[in-house]
Structure 1
Amino acid sequence: MKKIILVAGLLYSALTFAQGAPDYAGGLKVNINEDGSKYFRIISWAQVWAQYNGDKPLDANGNEQSEIDFTVRRARVLLYSQISPKFLIVTHFGVNNLNAGSMSPTGTGDGSQMFIHDAYVQYNLGTTNKHAIGGGLHYWNGISRMNNSSTLNILTLDNFRQGWATLGLADQFARPVGVFAKGAFGKLQYRVSINDALTNNLAVSNVPVNGGAATYNGRDLLGGKKAGKTFSGYFDYNFLDQESQFLPYKVGTYLGDKKVFNIGAGFFSHPNGSVVADVNGDLSGENVSIFAVDAFYDAPIGGKGSSITAYAMYQNSDYGKDFRFGTTYETGSILYGHVGYVIPTEKETKLQPYVSFANRQIDALDDNATQFGIGANLFLKGHHSKLTLEYQNLKYATADAVGTVTLQAMIYL
């Protein structure tokens, strides 16, 4: 009997995963009992980039760099399983940004290595399973929809980088280790968590300058008792169709398969997460506080498979006094939005042009960064097979604007 169930599960997956359903109906699902209450599912995907940038600076040896580069942007495997409707385990691993600069001769270097993205357990509560608690390395983040976005069905080429507002500063690649609770009260969905802050973060080697800007390395410099915990939450009200909260990953575009209109708000708090030094060199902590409000709309429009997707977000980021980390993170505020439209067609292949815009106000520079993107997704099998071409232009404060053209090929099974 088990062999029959296994074969049936494999056949079912082979027939359904190519439909491109953005609500994770695809993947290799194998039932291990007759009613399907015990199962495991595997999802695998890869995104490959060819990128042109004619504005690159000289390398460390003073030589010109290549204008065209190739990158394995993501190669991932996600496995989740249930032994009953009450228990769930999620494991997610893979590699990111594998290119000429991160590869190693025999595949043993840090940049070549796969690592764990998610590894958590979840326990459903009550008779309706609408609420759950869990723990581990998880993605039940706060702040905004973008800070919880899936990489399988982003509308634009990639997620707006500042949307992952704590990646590498307080967590491992947008995943903290801690405990979470999630669920819904009617149409209001919630996710909240308490987590350990990352000690060895991107800014761990920064040293606070006397009377200068804050550095985000509170746990390293002040210790775990003062700066060891972070707190986050996100709440969104689903006015129309209810979105799934089975997994933490927020869909970027449904291609008109749902009619969704959500308004959300969220926060992130890290007491003493940043550090400043007074004129005598004495250290003290500054609280890191981030909050955002956003809105998401996705619905069919007109006929023949056309649809519209729109998203807008305002985020206020306080990483400490005049904090800046490269051109990625800074204390200030962000206004971001994008919109995409699926052109009407009765064919399986669909074209979705889109535009995006961001304006970031930077306290330390008393200036702004603006980012504009225009591109299109060509869906060959829904989200399961698509090509994306995008031009993006970034103007950071007084620096010259940088334009980049990227072609992405993506397949997920």
Structure 2
Amino acid sequence: MKIVLALLLLISSVAMSQVKLTDDNNKSDIRYSLNPSGYHYVKFTFTNQVWFRLNDNNPGTTVLSDPASQTFDIGLRRTRLQLFGQITDRIFFYTQFGLNNFNKTNGFPGYNTAGTPSNRKVAAFFHDALGEYEVQRKGNSFIRFGGGLTIVNGLSRFSQPSISTIMTMDVPIFAQATADQTDQFSRKLAVYSRGQIGKINYRISVADPFPIETNGAVPPALNANSVFAQKKHKKQFDGLFIYNLFDTEDNTTPGYTTGTYLGKRKILNIEAGFIAQKNALWRKEGVDTLYSNMNLWSIASYLDMPVNKEKGTAVSAYLGYFHTDYGKGYLRYNGSMNPATGTTLPITGVSGTHGNAYPMFGTGNVIYSQAGYKFKDGLLGSQGTLMPYASLQYSDYDRLWDPVLLYNLGVNWLMKGHNGKLTLNYENRPVYKNSTLSNELQKDMRKGSWILQYQVSI
């Protein structure tokens, strides 16, 4: 990390006399021009998201071995540095370095790592490191090929989100289907092509997934329910196709899709995506080991446009349907930056049920929607404006007797667009317990979480 920071400081010092501050989507740029037109450039960005959270924990939750029905924690949800640029008319590179989910339990044995001793100083890593070559460009249409460690993949726009422009406080993580299982925080080693052909934006890739054994936790044991396989490793195929009815979206960085443009563009899209991998999961049936293909696909629509350009009001909305087939009985709990470390009331057949976790991933079907409204610019005078929002997730997974109904209500205080914003969010989630009647889990109660997020991004 010291080497990366030293390089960034060197670039910044060299470029200081040529720094350009531009305003696109209320986001300032720090860039060094490599030619007089500025088309060739190197750009640096920084984003930091701090969470202040009060969480009602799942029953039986412990924090560092102490019982905890409720927790208050402070953490870094995401801290990222990006360095990327257009070196020639055809050559582009992109790197991203940072950490995620850094709170007091980060690195705790059995939580984020499988071994001892624990180390809270090993969380930062390269998220992306890739190179691209543009083979064709005509107006706004282009075709590029690239490869490396990348988030370019399929399924949906929320499978590859631009985290600094999220409208809701956080993204629907279920859409990052293999997060930290066979990828590196949604990134994969892949070769890909992306481009804009008329009204159609596309990205397709062939990835070499990471073995489940290298994700830092003990892999789930082979059992009657599907889990990621430790043998018969195969390549993964991904694709996302977006039809732009009005304006085209920003295509600068590979894969990343904007959360909201805050009314700066008129966007209405229809999209469809998929992720497919042969023999991705396995399970035990009697004495036989059976393999399952992973087949995930989605269809969705995304709207983000101004209501009144003069006043600066805008709306943003998304509605998507996801079919998630991980194999028979697959179910995985997850909780964002989980504030807890264990439980005295485990649920049979699943792990990580403590803290704020809920059944996030599973075989079944998901409907996800979100909507927000940006009030006029200057609503709070020189202090910016507000953008309230709501999101709803309905997940009907095979292993659940009662579907997941998860909702979030919140408001963004946009001090300077996405550069500086404060978000207050309330999340309400279901809590499950073992069923005495079948392999399925039954809903027991509901729990909530209040989160205040402060984002600084440049």
Q: Which segments of structure 1 move beyond 6 Å, counting only runs of 4 or more?
A: none
Q: Give the alignment partner of residue 235 of structure 1, picking from 238, 241, 254.
A: 241
Per-residue Cα deviation, 1:213-259 (whole angstroms, up to 9, x for no partner): 1111x2x2x23xxx321000000000001112221211111111111
AA aligned to 1:400 is M
Amino acid in structure 1 at the alignment position of 2:51: W
Deviation at 1:54, TM superposition (A): 3.1
Give yes or no for contact 2:250–2:258 (8 Å, CA) kept in 1.
no
Which position in structure 2 is the counterpart of 1:51? 53
| Distance of aligned partners of 1:148 and 1:87 in 2 relative to their CA distance in 1, 3 Å threshold | same
| Equivalent residue runs for 1:276-355 within 5 Å | 276-280=283-287, 282-302=288-308, 304-326=311-333, 327-346=359-378, 347=381, 349-355=384-390
- SS of match in other structure, 1:181: strand
Structure 1 residue corresponding to 2:88, chosen from 74, 84, 89 = 84
Change (3 A) 1:58 1:166: closer
AA paired with 2:173?
R
Report the aligned-residue RMSD: 2.4
Shift of 1:108: 8.2
Tell me what 2:275 maps to. Answer: 268
SS of residue matched to 1:162? helix
Aligned to 2:111: none
Residue in structure 1 matched with residue 394 of structure 2 by the alignment: 359
Q: 1:274 to 1:392 in 2, by over 3 A?
A: same
Matched, 1:257 2:264: yes
What SS does the aligned partner of 1:312 have?
Answer: strand
1:82 and 1:306 mapped to 2: Cα distance?
Answer: 33
Map of 1:117 onto structure 2: 127
- Which residue pairs with 1:179 in the alignment? 191
Which range moved further: 60-69 or 390-399?
A: 60-69
1:186-239 deviations in Å (ceiling 9; x for gaps): 101100000111103558621222xx21111x2x2x23xxx3210000000000
Q: Of 38, 41, 45, which residue of structure 2 is paired with 1:39?
A: 41
Task: Tell me whether 200-209 or 75-84 shows the greater mean CA deviation.
Answer: 200-209
Per the alignment, residue 69 of structure 1 pairs with: 73
Listed as ranges, the matches of 1:137-148 within 5 Å are 137-148=149-160
Q: Is the 8 A contact 1:95 1:112 kept in 2?
A: no
- Cα distance in 2, alignment partners of residues 370 and 37 from structure 1: 47
Deviations 1:293-329 (A, max 9, x none): 1111011114511110001111010011110112221
* 2:25 aligned partner: 22
Deviation at 1:284, TM superposition (A): 2.8
Q: Is the 8 A contact 1:102 1:112 kept in 2?
A: no
- State how far apart, in whole Å, the 2-side matches of 1:41 and 1:61 are: 45
- Mapped partners of 2:175, 2:276: distance in 1: 16
* Matched residues, number: 394
Give secondary structure in 1 for the equivalent of 2:219.
Answer: coil
Q: Distance in 1 between matches of 2:251 and 2:69?
A: 44
Q: 1:170 to 1:205 in 2, by over 3 A?
A: closer
Counterpart in the other structure of 1:372: 407
- Partner SS for 2:46: strand
The unaligned stretches of length 5 or more in structure 2 are 1-11, 109-116, 334-358, 432-441
Pairing 1:155–2:136 present: no
CA displacement at 1:362 relative to structure 2: 1.2
Return the offset for 1:178.
1.1
Distance in 1 of aligned mates of 2:453 and 2:200: 35
Query: Does the Cα contact within 8 Å between 1:384 and 1:410 map onto a contact in 2?
Result: yes
- Displacement of 1:127: 4.5
With 267-276 and 110-119 compared, the bigger mean Cα shift is at 110-119
Residue 423 (structure 2) pairs with residue 388 (structure 1): yes
CA distance in 2, matches of 1:119, 1:99: 26
CA deviations 1:126-168 (Å, max 9, x no partner) are 2537000000001111001111211001110000121211212
- String of CA shifts for 1:347-396, please: whole Å, max 9, x gaps: 45010011111100010224301001110000011100000000010114
Structure 1: runs of 5 or more not aligned: none
Compare 331-340 and 303-312 and name the one that shifted more. Answer: 303-312
Is the CA contact (8 Å cut-off) linking 1:5 and 1:32 kept in structure 2? no
The residue identity in structure 2 corresponding to 1:292 is S
TM-score, length of structure 1 as denominator length: 0.90
- Once residues 132 and 151 of structure 1 are traced to their aligned partners in structure 2, the CA distance between those partners, rounded to angstroms, is 23
Q: Secondary structure at the match of 1:146?
A: helix
Q: Matches of 2:131 and 2:273 in 1, distance apart?
A: 23
Change (3 A) 1:124 1:343: same
Give the alignment's TM-score, normalised by structure 2. 0.81
